[in-house]
Structures are given as C-alpha cells and as structure tokens.
Amino acid sequence: MKDRINQLKKEKDAVVLAHYYVDGDVQDIADFVGDSYALAKQAALVSQKNIVFAGVKFMGESAKLLNAGKHVYMVDATAGCGMADMVTAAQVKRVKEEYPDAAVVCYVNSSAEVKAVSDVCVTSSNAVKVVKALEAKQIYFIPDQHLGSFVAAQVPEKEFIYHNGFCPIHKLIDEESLLKAKETHKEALVLAHPECEQAILKHADYIGSTADIIKFARTNTANEYIIATEIGVLHQLKKENPAKQFFVVNDKQVCHDMKKVTLAKLESILKNIDVQEEVKLCDDIIESAKKPLEKMLDLAK
C-alpha cells in the first residue's frame, strides 16, 4: 500500500501533510510531519496542485486559508477538534463589544469563521512570542483556557480575558495517574503540552508544543520521559530516540478524531482525488480569516 500511495502522490501532483497525532504509519508516508505551526508554514509554501491533510478540520482549513489557490483534501473529512467546536463567531463578537480594546488572540484550533473575527492566530509553539509582540494590553484569548493561562503567566504585563474552551483529550490526562506514573518511573522527566490542566502542568519539567516536546527529548540527556499529550507523539519520540524510554500517563490520551486518519483512507482519497470533496471556504471568510493567520506567521518569525 505504501508503494501505491507514493506512486499516487506523484501521479496526482499531491503532497501529504501530517500532524504528529495521526498514526505512525501515516506519519511515515507523509511528505511533511509537524506541529500545527510548522504545518501552517509548510502549507503556505507547497508547490503541488493538491494538498492532502492527515489531521483534523481546522488544519485543512488553515492550509486553504494560507494557500487558497490549492485544492485541499482531508484524509477523513469528519475528523474535527472538540476544542475548536467550543467557540462560535457570535460569542467572540459579543465579548468584543464588551471589551473593545482587547485583541482577540485565537488558537488555530478554531473554525475559519472564528478566525475571521479574530485579530491574530497563535499555536502552542508561538503563542507567547506573538502575544508579547502585540500592542494591545488587553488580550481576549480563545478558545483554550489552559493555553491562555500558560501564556498569561509568561506575559504578566498584559491582562487576559479567557474563553472557557479546553481540549477534551488533554483533560483526561489526570493528576492521580501522573503521580502514579512518576512513582513508577522515578527518574523520568515529565513533558507536557500546554493544553493540559494546571494540575498536570505544575508537575511538568518541560511544557511545549508537540514539536517542542520532540525537540526537547532529542536534545536532553535523560533516558526516561512521561509524555502528557496525545499518544501519536510517541511515534516520533521512539523513532528518534531508540535508546530512550517513553511512558504515557494513562490509556486515555487518544484523540479519536486524529485516529480516523488511516493509510487505507489516504490511498482512497489519492486514487479518487478528482471526485473528492475538497475543503471549501467562501471568499469573504478566506479574506477575513487569512489575515490573523498571516499576522501570526509574520509575528512568529
């Protein structure tokens, strides 16, 4: 199947972009694997006619927003993000009326409609840098309250208003299980994604995006790590560090939407790309929603 997929990519002039949370076999066949920030940058640069996205809906939408001339297809169009669904454009507009001086800082884990009413986007790897670079003193951070608090702690000079969104998967990474894992693996460092709750983050030796966690493990000398984020990241961690050991906190750190992405579906999408439904956004949403994404790329440089 891998040979067929590689052949189809060439025949159909398609590039496959994959997030670290999809299954390892899909990551391995992708042309580019990354965190949300790296994938957004890459999507803006691709030369192929077709982008096939192995990830969730907001990632495909970001690719379309940043490279509207391309055809963007999701490996599984039903793969969404529970957090992205927790905020609507109408809610954002209401809060904007209440806090007219606040800059709306929108985590990329959001719909294109929500981005369209935001001032700037961020990802977990550039949020601190981007927020620091803004002129506004008041920040309305959407939708993730945990990433928002993590950023606020590092930007004390600004005032934060939070939305009440969260990642339903990272919420399942619980303190009791983490303490048990630490007890079992006493030498292990805890590496956590900022979408985790404070009860987890307070035990972390390092907090960062998926790409940052992978980079940390690559360069750190410790031999054991407890990973507090989605399990897909373990694929790259193990591949890059065969002599090191990686442990999960519990058996619930699985984003079922990311796991909808399979090699068989990828092959089928590529084979039938001419008749597939692509990621479609109307022109005025593209016009408004690409601005905060482009601003992020500019401020995060």
- For ligand 13P, the binding residues in 26-45 under the rule CB under 6 A are 35-36
Report the residue number, 107 or 216, with the smaller CB distance to ligand SF4: 107
Size of the site for ligand SF4 (CB under 6 A): 13
Residue 118 lies near ligand 13P (rule: CB under 6 A)? no
Under 8 Å between Cβ of 92 and 85: no
With CB under 5 to 8 Å by kind, the binding choice for 257 among ligand 13P, ligand SF4, none is ligand SF4
90, 136, 163, 275 from 94: Cα distances, Å? 6, 19, 12, 40
Q: Residues 35-69, buried b or exposed e (16+ Cβ, 10 A)?
A: bbbbbbbbbbebebebbbbbbbbbbbbbbbbbbee
Residue 228 lies near ligand SF4 (rule: CB under 6 A)? no
- Among 50, 67, 123, 236, contact with ligand 13P (rule: CB under 6 A): 123
Under 8 Å between Cβ of 228 and 249: yes
- For ligand SF4, the binding residues in 186-225 under the rule CB under 6 A are 195
Provide the residue type at 143 as one letter: P
Q: How far is the CB of 220 from ligand 13P (least distance, A)?
A: 18
Q: How far is the CB of 17 from ligand 13P (least distance, A)?
A: 12
Residue 125 lies near ligand SF4 (rule: CB under 6 A)? no
* Bond from prior residue into 143 cis (ω within 30 degrees of 0): yes
- For ligand SF4, the binding residues in 35-74 under the rule CB under 6 A are 56
Q: What is the DSSP letter of 42?
A: H
Residue 23 lies near ligand 13P (rule: CB under 6 A)? no
Residue 231 lies near ligand SF4 (rule: CB under 6 A)? no
- Among 169, 214, 231, 285, contact with ligand SF4 (rule: CB under 6 A): 169
Size of the site for ligand 13P (CB under 6 A): 11
Residue 236 lies near ligand 13P (rule: CB under 6 A)? no
Closest alpha carbon to 55 in 266, 250, 209: 266
Closest alpha carbon to 278 in 51, 93, 118: 51
Report the residue number, 81 or 273, with the smaller CB distance to ligand SF4: 81
- For ligand SF4, the binding residues in 233-252 under the rule CB under 6 A are none
Provide DSSP, 172-207: GS-HHHHHHHHHHSTTPEEEE-TTS-HHHHTT-SEE
With CB under 5 to 8 Å by kind, the binding choice for 24 among ligand 13P, ligand SF4, none is none
- For ligand 13P, the binding residues in 98-117 under the rule CB under 6 A are 109
Question: Which residues, 6 or more positions from 26, have their beta carbon under 8 angstroms from its beta carbon?
Answer: 18, 54, 75, 261, 262, 263, 266
Q: Interface with ligand 13P by CB under 6 A: which residues?
A: 35-36, 109, 123-125, 167, 193, 195, 209-210
